[in-house]
Amino acid sequence: MGNLVLIHVDSDKGNDTNSGDYLHPYKTILKAKNYIKDNKITGATVCIKGTHELTEPLMFTEADSGATRKPNVYKSCQRQKAVIKGSKKITGFSK
C-alpha cells in the first residue's frame, strides 16, 4: 500500500469492529497492529489514546515495522495521554 495511513485507537470510546478512523477508532493496539500486518501496510501512524491494560504480551516483529522510508509508528495522539499497562492490581491480601 503506497499511501500513508492514520489509524486511531481509543481504549474508552473504541471498538475493534470499527474502521479505525478518527470517528470510529479501534479499542485495542493489537487490533491496529493486526490490521496493518494483515493488509501489508507501510507508513502507518497509529494514534493511541487512553489507558490500555494488557492481559497478554504485545509483541512486535520486523514484519510490523513497515519499510525503511515508510516506517509504521505507534504514538500517543496530539495533546492526549496514552498509557500501556502490563501490570495487574493485586487485592484481597493483608499484612
C-alpha cell belonging to residue 61: 516483529
pLDDT by position in tens, the chain (length 95): 455 799 999 999 999 999 999 999 999 999 999 999 999 999 999 999 999 999 899 999 998 999 999 999 999 988 888 999 988 778 888 87
Q: The whole model's pTM is what? A: 0.86
Which of 7, 41, 40 is CA-nearest to residue 24? 7
d(CA 10, CA 28): 7
